[in-house]
Amino acid sequence: MVIFVNNKPIHLVQSDKIKVLNINQYDVIIDGKNSVFKPSVWSGEVLVQNTMTENITSFFKFAKKNSLDHLSSVTFLVKDKATAKSEIKQLFSVVKAAGGMVFNAEGKVLMMKRLGFWDLPKGKAESDENSRLTAIREVEEECGVKVKIDKKLCTTWHTYLLKGKPVIKRTKWYAMTLLDDRKMKPQAEEGIEELRWMTPEEMEEALKISYASIIHVVKSSHQATE
C-alpha cells in the first residue's frame, strides 16, 4: 500500500516482506520501538522498522501540520499491513474515487492539464456507483470521450484537508481503450485547461510537472505490460 501525503509516497510493507527491500537505498533507518521518533530531523528515503501504532499516528499528525519537503519517501515495516491500514483510515474520513489512463489506437495516452499540472482524469464516486462505473463516467465527463475498461492498474491513496478536516481519498485506476474522441473537450467547470494525446516521450516530460501519485499510476501501467 502506498499513501501520498503532501505529494510524498508513504509505503506500508509487511515485515515478512523485508527481503524484497534494498536496505542500502535508505538514507535513514529508524527502529520504531527504540528510536526517538522525530520526523522533523529525517531526510531523503526513510525506513521505519518495528513500526508501532503510535509511530503511524505521530507521523500523520506531523504531516498534517508540516511540509515534507525534506523527505523523498517513508516506508513503514508493519507486523500486519491490514491492521495498519485500518488504523490509518481511522485517522481520516474516507472518500472513494476512480479514474483512467486512456490509450488510443496509436498507443498515445490522454493527459489533461489542471491548475498548471499534468494529470489523469478521475473523480469521486456517486452513492450508487462501483469503481468501474465511476472511472468511465469521470473520464467521459472530464474529457468528452467514449472509453471502455481493459483492466485495473492500481489503487492510490492520498490525504488532504477538506473544509479543515483530514480526508484520505482512495482512487482505483484502470487502463482504458478509446472508443470515440470526436467530441473531446476539456470540462472547464472542473478547472481542466487542456487535453492532449501524448507519446511515451511526451509523457516523460509532462510528468516532470505532475503529481507523485500520477507518476505511480504511469509506472504501474508500464509494469502491467512487461
User: Which candidate, 51, 49, 44, 7, places its Cα nearest to that of 25?
Assistant: 44
List where CATH 3.90.79.10 sits in the chain.
95-225
- The mean pLDDT of 187-215, rounded to a whole number, is 96
165 pLDDT exceeds 90? no
Class of domain 95-225: alpha beta
pLDDT digits (tens, 9 = 90+) for 170-179: 999 999 999 9
pTM: predicted TM-score of the whole model, two decimal places: 0.88
pLDDT digits (tens, 9 = 90+) for 30-81: 999 988 899 999 999 999 999 998 999 999 999 989 999 999 999 999 999 9
Q: Where are the alpha helices (DSSP H) in 6-122?
A: 53-65, 81-89
Residue 120 contacts by C-beta under 8 Å, 6 or more apart in sequence?
99, 100, 101, 110, 111, 112, 173, 214, 217
Q: Are strands 109-114 and 192-198 parallel, antiparallel or unpaired?
A: antiparallel
HSE-up of 101 (CA within 13 Å, CB side)?
29
Percent over 70 (pLDDT), the chain = 99
